[in-house]
């Protein structure tokens, strides 16, 4: 469940890096030094084959030539009296060293840190590019599954190591906005279901200050204390803009989502940082998310598995006692329409087409996003891991950024071995490798 103030603080952190935005690109300063990341495309017949991908930081995290505006409002009128002048005045520079943005890769491993060694907050967010580095990799997951390894051991209460999908344009908006010269290569075109106002939309000055929206699938929002899986469908495909009530709770996107959190469905001993939990977050583990369909190709459910110590761990089953409609689903450990009808706070999810609508977006293709962040708005990530919301064991104060610095001087997450393909093809089962062995 992504609450408005939480993404507010994350996006604001990006602007602490640059406080500006841009459309043109400073080509005379060399190429963008995109970090390389090996991923795997899988089939049941052939196993998993390595692929070469690259990562790009959001356009707002790039160096810029001047202040053209910050998050939460339209571009500044000085450099941006109109979209054409804005494009000419606001110039984005390439990133030469991604480690200064808290991002490093090694083969199929991605390491992201919240703080630089000097203590500066970076809150990195990066998108997966195709090998050509000109387009985003568009994952089509309806009827398929997605798997990754993760190390959450350095993410205490209040942190969020997130892996999610947004229905951005494949080229970052170049094909729909002729003024956009940056494109996916420089991280343009971000959107999500929260419909926040950005100074640029699809890489062009957002002169009317409209909200920027698109379908969002939160596969993984988590720290070592709690985790949440949450789809957020919208009324329209791809990136679109909203204004007024269209951007609000009863607007064109589902801001809360239908979420599945093991703690919240009655399993406080399922996920946590020791061997007493079924999923031990003090050590690396594998996360498998499946998107099964019916005979007509429509998405029917969101299913989760974990793999650790060579064994498959089934997702936590519903185990509540204070919600009779939800209690009736005790034999269920996945999210579907029946679950979303009774889990609470899901009115907009259902009104906007629910699982079917989300499946249509996943079938069209969505961009894979990795991020790590904390909440500076005062909410302390309680929506995801807090006692106050029955979402986890964290008290109201321990997730504050100040406390995080005390208990973990280097809050960071490692994502690795990212794989997608046919259901059953991406993870180890009964000790057998699900990926193709390289020849000696």
| SS3 labels along 356-382 | HHHHHHHHHCEEEEEEEEECCCCCCCH
| SS3 labels along 101-120 | HCEEEECCEEEEECECCCCC
Q: What is the DSSP string of 225-238?
A: S-EEEEEE-BSSSS
Q: Which residue has the tokens 């986890």?
A: 392
* Separation in Å, CA 205 to CA 77, 99, 178, 189, 244: 11, 29, 12, 11, 19
228, 290 Cβ separation under 8 angstroms: no
Choice among 169, 221, 376, 398 that is catalytic: 221
Residue 440 CA to residue 259 CA, distance in Å, equals 44
Please say if 216 is a catalytic residue: yes
- What residues form DSSP beta bridges with 366? 139
- What residues form DSSP beta bridges with 200? 205
Please say if 408 is a catalytic residue: no
Residue 185 CA to residue 179 CA, distance in Å, equals 15
E strand or H helix that includes residue 407: helix 401-407
385, 160 Cβ separation under 8 angstroms: no
- How would you class 209 by CB atoms within 10 Å of its CB: exposed for 0-12, middle for 13-18, buried for 19 or more? middle
CA triplet 355, 130, 239: central angle to 5 degrees? 45
Choice among 216, 360, 376, 408 that is catalytic: 216
E strand or H helix that includes residue 324: helix 324-327
24, 32 Cβ separation under 8 angstroms: no
CA triplet 237, 242, 244: central angle to 5 degrees? 145
Q: Which residues are catalytic?
A: 216, 221
């Amino acid at each position: 469940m992504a609450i408005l103030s939480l993404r507010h603080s994350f996006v604001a952190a990006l602007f602490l890096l640059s406080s500006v935005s841009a459309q043109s690109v400073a080509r005379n300063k060399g190429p963008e030094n995109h970090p390389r990341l090996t991923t795997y495309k899988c089939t049941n017949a052939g196993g998993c084959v390595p692929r070469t991908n690259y990562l790009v930081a959001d356009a707002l995290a790039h160096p810029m030539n001047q202040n053209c505006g910050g998050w939460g409002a339209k571009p500044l009128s000085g450099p941006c009296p109109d979209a054409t002048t804005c494009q000419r005045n606001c110039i984005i520079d390439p990133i030469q060293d991604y480690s200064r943005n808290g991002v490093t890769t090694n083969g199929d491993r991605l390491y992201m840190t919240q703080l630089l060694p000097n203590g500066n907050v970076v809150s990195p967010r990066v998108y997966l590019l195709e090998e050509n580095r000109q387009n985003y990799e568009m994952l089509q997951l309806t009827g398929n599954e997605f798997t990754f390894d993760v190390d959450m051991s350095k993410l205490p209460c209040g942190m969020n190591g997130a892996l999610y999908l947004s229905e951005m344009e494949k080229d970052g908006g170049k094909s729909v906005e002729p003024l956009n010269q940056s494109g996916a290569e420089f991280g343009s075109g971000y959107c999500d279901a929260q419909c926040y106002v950005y100074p640029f939309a699809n890489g062009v000055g957002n002169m009317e200050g409209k909200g920027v929206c698109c379908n969002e699938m939160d596969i993984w929002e988590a720290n070592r204390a709690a985790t949440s899986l949450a789809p957020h469908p919208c009324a329209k495909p791809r990136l679109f803009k909203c204004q007024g009530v269209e951007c609000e709770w009863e607007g064109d996107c589902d801001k809360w989502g239908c979420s599945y959190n093991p703690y919240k469905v009655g399993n406080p001993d399922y996920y946590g940082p020791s061997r007493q939990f079924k999923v031990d977050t003090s050590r690396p583990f594998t996360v498998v998310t499946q998107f099964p369909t019916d005979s007509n190709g429509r998405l029917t459910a969101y299913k989760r598995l974990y793999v650790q110590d060579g064994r498959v761990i089934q997702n936590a089953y519903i185990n509540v006692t204070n919600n009779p409609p939800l209690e009736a689903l005790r034999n269920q450990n996945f999210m579907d329409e029946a679950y979303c009808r009774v889990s609470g706070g899901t009115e907009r999810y259902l009104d906007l087409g629910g699982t079917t609508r989300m499946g249509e977006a996943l079938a069209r293709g969505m961009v894979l996003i990795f991020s790590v962040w904390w909440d500076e708005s005062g909410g302390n990530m309680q929506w995801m891991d807090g006692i106050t919301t029955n979402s986890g064991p964290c008290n109201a104060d321990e997730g504050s950024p100040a406390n995080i610095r005390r208990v973990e001087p280097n809050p960071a997450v490692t994502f690795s071995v990212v794989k997608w393909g046919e259901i059953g093809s991406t993870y180890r089962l009964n000790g057998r490798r699900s990926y193709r062995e390289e020849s000696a």
